[in-house]
Chains A and B, each alone.
Chain A
């Protein structure tokens, strides 16, 4: 199972909005609404930010939102803050009854 495709890096200034894409196939992202997003700060465990394409778990800021169109899912962070600087990973259930992560995107807040 190949990793989902994410941009290696994105950047934005405080207060701006950024979007991270996550591209798969009809066998994973496009076939199911089982896409999730995780935030990982250096040396820390991942944290679930978005579940089931667009649902925020309790405690996650409403500045984080998710969507999907076809085989591509997206994570949007609005009102960028310094603490948003981290690595972000998408994941999806697959038709092989496995789970696949994206390669990760490093977000830099300028």
Chain B
């Protein structure tokens, strides 16, 4: 069974940092592009960042570029999101998702999400 399990969320002050993790199982992680998508409370989905299977190529939304870094450790089947200079508007549930038909096309498996709250 394909599973994605996020962790690392919590309460952080504006300007602070947080690192999210996503542990994958049930599929060949090293063959799959992976993505982070977030959802602010009561709002819609927002694409955040994507990393290709090898980790060499990365893509970011303008709203997080320069502040967030996506990475992966294929030996540990784990995806990461390092979030720096956090702002109130980064408050959201962060989902990791497995790419389905292409790197930046769609996602057939999602984790349950981890909540990040940026507040003083």
Interface residues of A (CB under 8 A from B): 1, 3, 34, 36, 38, 40, 45-48, 51-52, 57, 89, 91, 93, 97-104
A98/B44 in contact, CB under 8 A: no
A48/B100 in contact, CB under 8 A: yes
A89/B106 in contact, CB under 8 A: no
Q: Which of A34, A46, A103 contacts B102 (CB 8 A)?
A: A34
6 A-B pairs whose Cβ atoms sit less than 8 Å apart in the complex: A1-B61, A3-B44, A34-B101, A46-B37, A46-B45, A57-B100
Q: Which of B44, B101, B105, B111 contacts A101 (CB 8 A)?
A: B44
B44/A104 in contact, CB under 8 A: yes
A99/B104 in contact, CB under 8 A: yes
- Smallest CB-CB A-B distances: 8 pairs: A36-B106, A45-B110, A104-B44, A99-B47, A101-B45, A34-B105, A99-B104, A51-B106
The size bracket of the interface on B is 20 to 34
User: In the complex, which residues of chain B have a beta carbon less than 8 angstroms from the beta carbon of A102?
Assistant: 44
User: In the complex, which residues of chain A have a beta carbon less than 8 angstroms from the beta carbon of B1?
Assistant: none
User: In the complex, which residues of chain B have a beta carbon less than 8 angstroms from the beta carbon of A100?
Assistant: 47
A47 to B107, alpha carbons, bound, how many Å? 8
Taking the nearest CB of chain B, how far is it from the CB of A52, in angstroms? 6
Task: Kindly identify, within residues 95 to 120 of chain B, every residue whose CB is under 8 Å from any CB belonging to chain A.
Answer: 95, 100-102, 104-108, 110-113
User: In the complex, which residues of chain A have a beta carbon less than 8 angstroms from the beta carbon of B105?
Assistant: 34, 36, 51-52, 93, 99
A-B pair count, CB < 8 Å, reads: 68
A102 to B117, alpha carbons, bound, how many Å? 23
A97 to B47, alpha carbons, bound, how many Å? 12
B47/A91 in contact, CB under 8 A: yes
Q: Is B50 an interface residue (CB 8 A)?
A: yes
User: In the complex, which residues of chain B have a beta carbon less than 8 angstroms from the beta carbon of A103?
Assistant: 44
Chain A residue at smallest Cβ distance from B48 = A99
Most chain B CB inside 10 Å of its own CB: which residue of A1, A3, A40, A98: A98
B110/A46 in contact, CB under 8 A: yes
A88 to B59, alpha carbons, bound, how many Å? 25
User: In the complex, which residues of chain B have a beta carbon less than 8 angstroms from the beta carbon of A3?
Assistant: 44
Chain B residue at smallest Cβ distance from A52 = B101
Known: A93-B104, A99-B35. 12 other contacts (CB 8 A): A34-B102, A34-B105, A45-B95, A46-B107, A46-B110, A47-B110, A48-B100, A91-B45, A99-B47, A100-B47, A101-B44, A101-B47
